[in-house]
Copies of this chain bind each other. A is one copy, B any other.
Amino acid sequence: MPRQQTKTSIAIVDDHVLITQMLATTITNFGDCQVVLQATNGKDLQRQINPSQLPDLVILDVNMPVMDGYETAKWLTATYPSIRILVLTMYDSELAMLRLLLLGVRGFLKKDIDPATLKDAIVTTMETGFYYSERQLVNLLQSKGNNIQLVNNVFLSTKELQLLTLACSDRPYKVIAQEMGISFKTLDHYRQALFDKLNVKSRVGLAIYALENGVVRKKTE
């Protein structure tokens, strides 16, 4: 049902104020949508959201200070499961998409799209519940027989994620192990696990992965 009496209400969560405002303008110009909330991060969304007047859809940036897209998606899904979530991001790694999908995200949009695609994504998400700008992830999930195995392989444990974050520094593993409260040798195992799961061969590879996939927030972003 494309046309409705009531407009689709949309919330935008992105720390780039300029992008948020421009998104709002673009969406408003669609005519059948209205932007009812603009937040700069997840915490800001929690503060502003009105349970008696929930948005139909949240457009969510992944990389944000204070409370990022992952935490926000998790909280939204748990608190207001009826709200559709569309992630607007520059990253498109399978790991990141899988994590977000399991957190309840309904679709992904890269930032190099045009307004028409944005509208299509919003409409499609509202009508069918899901939107993917690329088929790869769908194929991935459908082709592999044992999804659980896949998820176990692709997902990172808390310690692994912590190491991945701390590895993005000038500090040697010896120091990082102390910070994590584990021995250097235990850290070695997590390191090897990360190499295997992320398909890299060195600590530099870890750092590149973490930065490219938004695991570690860049200072100026």
Give me the interface of A with B, judged by CB distance under 8 Å. Answer: 15-19, 21-23, 25-26, 29, 90-93, 110-115, 117-118, 167-170, 172, 200-205, 207-208, 211-212, 218-221
* Copies of the protein in its oligomer: 2
- A22 is contacted by which of B26, B169, B208 (Cβ under 8 Å)? B26
A sample of 19 cross-chain residue pairs with beta-carbon separation below 8 angstroms, ordered by A number, consists of A16-B112, A17-B113, A18-B113, A18-B114, A21-B26, A21-B114, A22-B23, A22-B25, A25-B25, A25-B26, A25-B29, A110-B220, A168-B208, A170-B200, A170-B204, A203-B204, A207-B211, A211-B211, A212-B218
A16 to B113, CA, bound (A): 7
A110 and B15 alpha carbons, distance in the complex (Å)? 12
**A112 and B15 within 8 A (CB):** yes
Residue of B nearest to A96 (CB): B220
Knowing that A16-B111, A22-B26 touch, tell me 14 more A-B residue pairs with CB under 8 angstroms.
A17-B112, A18-B114, A18-B118, A19-B19, A21-B115, A22-B23, A92-B220, A168-B204, A172-B202, A204-B204, A208-B211, A211-B212, A212-B218, A212-B220
